Amino acid sequence: MSVFATIVVSNSNKVEAQALTSLDMFTTEFKKGLRKYWVSSGNFPQDYYDALIDNDLVYLSLTDQNVKPTSGLFDLGLSKVITED
Amino acid sequence: MYGLGVNRLGVTNAPSGFSPLSLFANGEQGVWYDPSDLTTVFQQDGTTATIPWTSGDILDANRVGKLVDKSGNGKDALQTTLSKCPALKYVGGLYYLEFDGIDDGLQTASIDFSSSDAMSVFTGVRKEADETSVVAEISDNAGTNAGAFRFGSISGDKWRYSVRVDSTVNLNANSYTAPQTNVVTGLNDFSDPVTTIRVDGAEIATSANSPGTGNFGDHALNLGARGNGSSLHLDGRIYSVVVRNVLSNANDIALTEAYVATKTGVTI
């Protein structure tokens, strides 16, 4: 059982969000103005999704499957940070 | 002149009877991924065949956690984190993997490419954004690791094929503004030296610059992002991928590009 969503957590909540889910999640940085956010998008195991909601760690969540996640985030003023090492 | 002797071919279909499997008949190292072969596409749990997404809810059954390598080399591409699995889609008679540009990516186990200093990378790909991304890359960073290549897009309107031993040779194909669907081929031989990028059956750029001396390395192959979905995420689609650890000859290039074109819906 899983839930499709694009979930954004604030920089201050990243560590706790990863502790409740996986270190492989919330590894993609977005920014809005000077603020830094971390995003995971796709199918979340139900227990991960519930834990994030129950612990009030979600800055915003997009669940409309008809909107491309990157477009939805862009419309909300969030832009992807691309770092080429 | 370092061209490979293959120009625009004027073909729209792969010749009947051609299979990329023949490219590996002599034990060539490499991979062949074909999302249109649903017997090779599995969910993240690795056990259940994936159902193509056409409309409605995006379910686990649409998510790809394993793409079986059809080359015979056994290098399946995997993703064990559910949210990082790309989606299998079926639109307009074509199957493809859709990478969300946020966290999706697949990775193989290490592939020992060290027996050769040459590579041929054939891809059917679409980019939705003009930004730096990985379509296919060996190692976690082909910009710093020896014996590696990266094919992907860069900011602006470019496809880029890069190879590296001691230094990096970058070859760009310009004027491909997103959204853009192409058959893109990267070819190189370190010792010749020659590096070439081709788009839709035509040679776009070639270089005789040397990236150094040596062979390719023993590296994992990443698809749709760098480092198992850690960065440089592709916002786009992968229709077909063939990677061979040799410099393909003109006939093999023509046949493979024509095959990839049919899988991608591109006329070359």
Residue A54, number of CB atoms within 10 A of its CB: 9
Among residues B99, B110, B46, B107, the alpha carbon closest in space to that of B73 is found at: B110
Q: Nearest residue of A to residue B98 by CA position?
A: A68
Q: Is the pLDDT of residue B2 over 60?
A: no
pLDDT grade, residue B14 (50/70/90)? low
Chain B residues within 8 A of A82 when measuring between CB atoms: 131-132, 155, 231-232
Q: Is B109 exposed, middle or buried (0-12, 13-18, 19+ CB in 10 A)?
A: exposed
A:B CB pairs within 8 Å: 84
Amino acid at B256: T
Chain B residues within 8 A of A84 when measuring between CB atoms: 132, 143, 232
Q: Which positions 20-79 of A are in contact with B (Cβ < 8 Å)?
A: 22, 24-25, 27-28, 39-45, 65, 68-70, 73
Q: Is the pLDDT of residue B246 over 80?
A: yes
Among residues B157, B211, B212, the alpha carbon closest in space to that of B179 is found at: B157
Q: Nearest residue of B to residue A2 by CA position?
A: B60
The owner of tokens 């612990």 is: A55
Amino acid at B186: G
Summarize pLDDT for A30-80 with one digit per residue, the tens. Answer: 999 999 999 999 999 999 999 999 999 999 999 998 899 999 999 999 999
Instruction: Classify B92-264 by CATH class.
Output: mainly beta
B100 touches chain A (CB under 8 A): yes
Q: Mean pLDDT over residues B31-58, rounded?
A: 88
Give A85 to chain B, closest Cα distance, Å: 7
The distance from CA B92 to its chain's CA centroid, rounded to whole angstroms, is: 21
Chain B residues within 8 A of A44 when measuring between CB atoms: 82-83
Question: Which of B59, B102, B126, B128 is best to mutate for the A interface (most A CBs within 10 A)?
Answer: B102
pLDDT at B30: 98
* CA trace torsion B238, B243, B249, B251 (10° rounding): -40
Q: Is the pLDDT of residue B6 over 50?
A: no
Q: Nearest residue of A to residue B65 by CA position?
A: A43
Chain A residues within 8 A of B83 when measuring between CB atoms: 25, 40-44
* Domain extent listing, chain A: 2-80
pLDDT grade, residue A20 (50/70/90)? very high
Summarize pLDDT for B178-188 with one digit per residue, the tens. Answer: 999 999 999 99
Helices (H) and strands (E) in chain A, counts: 3, 5
Summarize pLDDT for B108-154 with one digit per residue, the tens. Answer: 999 999 999 999 999 999 999 999 999 999 999 999 999 999 999 99
Summarize pLDDT for B197-212 with one digit per residue, the tens. Answer: 999 999 999 999 999 9
* Domain extent listing, chain B: 92-264
B13 touches chain A (CB under 8 A): no
pLDDT at B59: 85
Q: Test A4 with B57 for CB contact under 8 angstroms.
A: yes
